[in-house]
Chains A and B, each alone.
Chain A
């Protein structure tokens, strides 16, 4: 897990997805084949860091390793380029969330990894 985290750190830290060199469509998570034109020429591209909530939930039974973050707010955000991203939404409560709310991506601690206690960071969302 810690090696895969290292490999993906630019995706997690900076929300870097991919863009198709042929039709300019953008994707996050990155894809190997463009979903629009089928091209395999994809290059890294920064995703916009703002968007709106498409759907959300307050999870009360977290996965192992996330117990200290219970209850956890999760959402799917549609970024300004149309790409949808899943992430946590923080610094708010479920009562203050609505579909359509504007949010922005921030850099936060995601989890402490197993017995090593290595800290993983990545994007979360806050209300804009």
Chain B
């Protein structure tokens, strides 16, 4: 198997792009990534996206984006795995290059959410869950995560303040991130007093709705010499699935897909979790961030939120985590999120993270999930 590198990255700001279509966003991020390694002509385009059919009445994104980039003829397709679509698109391209089929690929995640009304956005997000036994009864994606959060708080005596730690840290980290949706600090009191969406989850427990696109050029070791900028190696990329709906699981607080994907990814990279010094976790909801660091083996069961509150995941002094704000602060344009995570890890490992730079980082791990840990994609990245 050949080595695979991230050669360049590009992305839009995350937020309300009223004047830009899904294609405008995709092309903007794609042009930036292509410009970062001008000698590389991608042999494949892989687009990660969750619900363009609902948001933009547009499928067939592979060909649409290839044409939009002026690359007609380029093989192209879309990969969908709910909120893990971006991570899964990257994994797909990674495997194509690693196997020797191609030498380079443009991977691009995009989501246009703001063309929908709020109720329609809830419905679109909920397509990650069972149409027949979850959506039918009116349960939104937030309500499922709220029930998960209540159970988490009940089982492990987690307090409101504990739960607020990840959102507070995320916003603090996003302040200096030029592409983040919310560059504003929030306090524990702000989270505790914000509007209830689905109790116990409040507005500031939840990642926001926003438009965005992120792209990156991946290259094989055989053409890596044509890249002028710094390279980051994708040491491994693995995915796993869990029982589809979280209420079908014997232990609802066990993120088994994350566990399995991380175990496989660390094993195939020859690294252990203690080697990881930069982390991107899928903090779509406060409790999901906590359950994720627990599944990764970084916090003991039931301790993730408390560890965050005590500074364990601080970018300055802890295990540097989500240093551009994560899903909560940078934003969560769902199908693009997995690519933002890898792009941000690339910036950290190449020392290009500006005011958000974490000190002395060389091994990054990015965890991207779809549904309530129904699909998990884990990438391990190494400084070259």
Interface residues of A (CB under 8 A from B): 4-5, 8, 11-12, 29, 35, 54-67, 69, 72, 74-76, 84-88, 94, 99, 110-111, 120, 122, 124
Q: Contact string, B187-199, partner A, CB cutoff 8 A, digits 1/0?
A: 0000000011111
User: Looking at the complex, which one of A55, A60, A88 makes contact with B137 (CB distance below 8 Å)?
Assistant: A88
- Smallest CB-CB separation from B143: which chain A residue? A59
- A63 and B135: CB pair below 8 A? yes
Measured between alpha carbons, how far is A54 from B248 in the docked complex, in Å? 12
- B198 and A60: CB pair below 8 A? yes
Measured between alpha carbons, how far is A62 from B200 in the docked complex, in Å? 15
Measured between alpha carbons, how far is A58 from B202 in the docked complex, in Å? 11
B156 surroundings in chain A (CB, below 8 A): none
Interface residues of B (CB under 8 A from A): 117-120, 122-123, 126, 130-140, 142-143, 146-148, 150-151, 154, 195-201, 243, 245, 247-248, 252
B201 surroundings in chain A (CB, below 8 A): 57
Q: How many A-B residue pairs have CB under 8 A?
A: 112
- What is the distance, in angstroms, from B144's C-beta to the closest C-beta of chain A? 8
Top 10 nearest A-B pairs (CB, nearest first) are: A64-B119, A57-B146, A66-B138, A55-B151, A55-B147, A59-B143, A59-B198, A29-B133, A84-B247, A76-B247
- A61 and B122: CB pair below 8 A? yes
Measured between alpha carbons, how far is A8 from B136 in the docked complex, in Å? 11
A58 surroundings in chain B (CB, below 8 A): 196, 198-199
User: Looking at the complex, which one of B133, B197, B199, B200 makes contact with A86 (CB distance below 8 Å)?
Assistant: B133
- B139 and A86: CB pair below 8 A? yes
- Smallest CB-CB separation from B243: which chain A residue? A35
- A67 and B119: CB pair below 8 A? yes
Can you list 15 residue pairs at the A/B interface with Cβ under 8 Å?
Answer: A29-B133, A56-B150, A57-B143, A59-B142, A60-B198, A60-B199, A61-B122, A61-B198, A63-B126, A63-B135, A64-B120, A76-B247, A84-B247, A85-B247, A111-B138
User: Looking at the complex, which one of A56, A63, A74, A76 makes contact with B122 (CB distance below 8 Å)?
Assistant: A63
- A110 and B138: CB pair below 8 A? yes
- B140 and A59: CB pair below 8 A? yes
- What is the distance, in angstroms, from A109's C-beta to the closest C-beta of chain B? 12
- A4 and B199: CB pair below 8 A? no
- A59 and B146: CB pair below 8 A? yes
Measured between alpha carbons, how far is A56 from B147 in the docked complex, in Å? 5
Measured between alpha carbons, how far is A105 from B252 in the docked complex, in Å? 22
- A122 and B150: CB pair below 8 A? no
User: Looking at the complex, which one of A12, A56, A86 makes contact with B134 (CB distance below 8 Å)?
Assistant: A86
- A74 and B150: CB pair below 8 A? no
B120 surroundings in chain A (CB, below 8 A): 64
Asked, given contacts A54-B151, A74-B147, whether A62 binds B130 with beta carbons under 8 Å apart, the answer is: no
User: Looking at the complex, which one of A5, A74, A122, A124 makes contact with B143 (CB distance below 8 Å)?
Assistant: A74
- A60 and B119: CB pair below 8 A? no
- B137 and A87: CB pair below 8 A? yes
- What is the distance, in angstroms, from B163's C-beta to the closest C-beta of chain A? 14
B146 surroundings in chain A (CB, below 8 A): 57, 59
Measured between alpha carbons, how far is A5 from B137 in the docked complex, in Å? 12
- What is the distance, in angstroms, from B143's C-beta to the closest C-beta of chain A? 4
User: Looking at the complex, which one of A35, A60, A66, A111 makes contact with B196 (CB distance below 8 Å)?
Assistant: A60
B134 surroundings in chain A (CB, below 8 A): 86
- Smallest CB-CB separation from B201: which chain A residue? A57
Measured between alpha carbons, how far is A6 from B243 in the docked complex, in Å? 26
- What is the distance, in angstroms, from A18's C-beta to the closest C-beta of chain B? 13
Measured between alpha carbons, how far is A99 from B148 in the docked complex, in Å? 12
- B138 and A74: CB pair below 8 A? yes
Asked, given contacts A61-B197, A64-B119, A94-B199, whether A76 binds B138 with beta carbons under 8 Å apart, the answer is: no
- What is the distance, in angstroms, from B53's C-beta to the closest C-beta of chain A? 16
Query: Most chain-B CB neighbours within 10 Å: which of A57, A60, A64, A86?
Result: A57
User: Looking at the complex, which one of A57, A65, A111, A120 makes contact with B147 (CB distance below 8 Å)?
Assistant: A57
